[in-house]
Amino acid sequence: MLDSNEDILKAAEAWKSAGRGVALATVVETWGSAPRPAGSNLVINDDGSFLGSVSGGCVEGAVVTEALDVIESGAPKLLEFGVADETAWKVGLSCGGTIRVFVEKVS
C-alpha cells in the first residue's frame, strides 16, 4: 500500500527541516487510463530519495530526474506523459492514457 498524502507531506517537512532540498510532484490531470488519480503525490529530496507515487515505471523515474532539476533551479515544471495502448507497458503506464504532473520546489 502506498503512503498517504499526509505521510508524504510530513516527509517533505522533515527533509526540509533537516536542510535538504525538496520537491513535490502532484498529478494534476489525467485522461483515459492512469495508474494514479489526480491529487497523487511524490516527494523527492536532493539525494534522489522519494516517497509516494504519481505513476510507476519509467514515468516515476523521469519525474524524479526532473524534480532534481527543479530543486536545483527553483523553477517549477509541468510534465506530460502519454502513450498509446499498445506501447503503454513499455513506459510504465498500465494502459493508454495521459497524465500531467506539476513539480515544484518546497520552500
pLDDT tens digits for range 70-103: 999 999 999 998 765 555 556 555 556 789 999 9
What is the average pLDDT across 59-63? 91
Q: How many CA atoms lie within 13 A of 27 on its CB side?
A: 22
Euclidean distance between CA atoms 34 and 13, whole angstroms: 28
pLDDT at position 88 is: 54
Domain boundaries, the chain: 5-105
pLDDT at position 103 is: 98
Euclidean distance between CA atoms 61 and 101, whole angstroms: 13
Q: How many CA atoms lie within 13 A of 3 on its CB side?
A: 15
pLDDT at position 91 is: 56
pLDDT in tens, 25-60: 999 999 877 788 999 999 999 999 999 999 877 789
pTM assigned to the model: 0.84
What lies within 8 Å, CB to CB, of 52 at 6+ separation is 2, 3, 5, 8, 40, 41, 42, 43
